Amino acid sequence: MAYLSYKRTQNIDVYDAILIGSGIGSLVTAVALSKAGKRCLILERHYAPGGYTHTFKRKQYEWDVGVHYIGEVMRPQSMLARLFRYINDGSLEWADMGEVYDRVRFGDEIFDFVKGRQAWTEQLKQYFPDHKDMVAIDQYVALVQSAAREAKGFFAEKALPKLASQVAGGMMRRGFMKFAGKTTLEVLQSITDNPKLIAVLTGQYGDYGLPPSQSSFAMHASVVRHYFNGGAYPVGGSARIYESIAPVIEAAGGMILVNAEVKRIITQKGKAVGVLMADGRELNAPLVISGAGIATTAQHLLSVDDRSASGLEKSLQKVEHSASHLCLYLGFKGRVDELNLPKANWWYYPAEFDHDSLVKRFNQDTNAEFPVIYVSFPAAKDPSWHERFPYQSTVEVITVASFEQFKPWLDTKWHKRGTDYEALKAQISERMLGKLYELEPQLKGHLDHCELSTPLSTRHFCNYERGEIYGLQHDPQRFSVKSLRPSTGIKGLYLTGQDVATAGVGGAMIGGILCASVILKRNLINEVISS
């Protein structure tokens, strides 16, 4: 059994560590602790484990929620491939998405992002054959590579003890901060004055949720480089990520419980000693690790005094929540080949080469054109799909949302938010569906299931207060906040997941391994790299 329901579990032992949330960050930390002989108890409030890596089903359809493609896992020597092998003993298979992983489209103009840095560069130069643009493309790739090279020191610093960080931290952070402290737009405008080239180069900005004038260039570079060698998808769907990891934790005596909502982290004399569950039960452990996100941990799981003692209150004054999103989950009757579904994702923009203006306009008026439409085809990416779902295919369409638009229904319950909310959802769904049909007109007439998630759905299921897509926002300011790290001002309380490092499955995994490194006082990153 890969997990149990908290509500049906009477006897819960005392464990070495309690982890709040079962996202990939918590899972990585739990595996590393398990390998060091510690028994872990993972408490997940959702009915499904895995955090954003979980899948859900309606009728005969299945969708992933927060995993559409992952880079670097097809290269066995990459850090991420090694990290996956470390946590699941190599029991997860990946399917390559092929030569083109992203298709960026502005109006009718299409730009393919092809696998391989060299091939990618050459392809981009074909789209931009002007000499000045070609030089800028080379400079851009060099900058992306340099930012990525500096990342190791920056993140490794987060695992240093206080004294070592005071001595060596500045030096380890400096190189990366040269890139992280600037916006993507600033860096790109330093190499080109061609707005169309800038818009195309930032065509994947949805992967980190901020348009060029707001995002940190380091985050942009990290995502771009992550996919340079193509995209991959877990064979069997993204739930396989959790399924492949859980046995490692269980084999070491750990337990994973779903429907297990933590209400409060309990501290005694400045030390975390356990958690108070939503049903009033207390569970104790000498280590408490939160993978629920720093904002949720500080604002909902700590008392006012502990929030201030943890240092998290101060951090949160400096960093914003990331944007929220809408996702249209679609089920079509027909096989992938019948429906002619591609593996590559679509990034579809209006025929304007200015992401910032498009986002601004949408935030001022949600009836304005969607600033971006992202489309993913899990049925086409997963080679095992047809064994599992012989006659159906699924598609996901995502765009940005204005949280403010959904505020009137904040106090209503999921599926009982009223007819005006349903009417708004129907109207948005229709608009998003129209965009999909512009991209893939052959799908018309095959739709069988359509369901829209709003920021309130994300808040309900994943406990992000503003339904945010990527935890804390990835602007230059975020990277200057040193306290976004695994250790807190409270003894025995640690943080894991995307807010410790960066968003993305890979980023949250780095957060997870850094957290375990701090707890075990070992450089696990080096151990994983040399494994």
Ligand X SMILES: Cc1cc2nc3c(=O)[nH]c(=O)nc-3n(C[C@H](O)[C@H](O)[C@H](O)COP(=O)(O)OP(=O)(O)OC[C@H]3O[C@@H](n4cnc5c(N)ncnc54)[C@H](O)[C@@H]3O)c2cc1C
Count of residues in the chain:
531
Question: Which residue from 408, 403, 406 is spatially nearest to 466, judged by alpha carbons?
Answer: 403
CB of 512 to ligand X, least distance (A): 7
Residue type, 414: W
Spatial neighbors of 316 by CB under 8 A, at least 6 apart, are: 294, 295, 298, 299
184 binds ligand X (CB under 6 A): no
DSSP 62-117: EEESS-S-EESTTSTTSHHHHHHHHHHTT---EEE--SEEEEEEETTEEEEEESSH
Whole-number Å distance between alpha carbons of 296 and 282: 19
CA gyration radius, the chain: 22
Select the residue interacting with ligand X from 52, 61, 179, 385 (CB under 6 A): 52
Query: In 259-408, where do the E strands start and end?
Result: 262-268, 271-277, 282-284, 287-290, 324-333, 345-349, 373-376, 392-401
262 binds ligand X (CB under 6 A): yes
Q: By rule CB under 6 A, what count of residues binds ligand X?
A: 38
Q: Which stretch in 41-49, 74-82, 315-323, 437-445 sits in contact with ligand X by CB under 6 A? A: 41-49
469 binds ligand X (CB under 6 A): yes
Q: Return the number of the residue (392 or 498) whose C-beta is nearest ligand X.
A: 498
68 binds ligand X (CB under 6 A): yes
Q: Return the number of the residue (136 or 275) whose C-beta is nearest ligand X.
A: 275
288 binds ligand X (CB under 6 A): no
Select the residue interacting with ligand X from 25, 230, 378, 476 (CB under 6 A): 25
Q: Return the number of the residue (3 or 52) whose C-beta is nearest ligand X.
A: 52
Tokens standing for 441?
Answer: 């007109």
Query: What Cα–Cα distance (Å) separates residue 224 from each residue in 113, 144, 229, 490?
Result: 10, 8, 10, 36
CB of 70 to ligand X, least distance (A): 5
Select the residue interacting with ligand X from 12, 16, 22, 343 (CB under 6 A): 22
Select the residue interacting with ligand X from 30, 33, 70, 515 (CB under 6 A): 70
Select the residue interacting with ligand X from 24, 344, 433, 493 (CB under 6 A): 24
Query: What Cα–Cα distance (Å) separates residue 277 from each residue in 9, 21, 260?
Result: 13, 13, 7
Whole-number Å distance between alpha carbons of 183 and 211: 10
Query: Which residue(s) pair with 287 in the sheet?
Result: 17
82 binds ligand X (CB under 6 A): no
Select the residue interacting with ligand X from 503, 510, 516, 528 (CB under 6 A): 503
Select the residue interacting with ligand X from 12, 16, 18, 23 (CB under 6 A): 23
Q: Which stretch in 50-58, 109-117, 120-128, 336-344 sits in contact with ligand X by CB under 6 A? A: 50-58
Select the residue interacting with ligand X from 224, 403, 497, 528 (CB under 6 A): 497
Binding residues vs ligand X (CB under 6 A)? 20-26, 43-46, 51-53, 66-70, 261-262, 291-292, 296, 325, 327, 398, 462-463, 469-470, 497-498, 503-506, 508
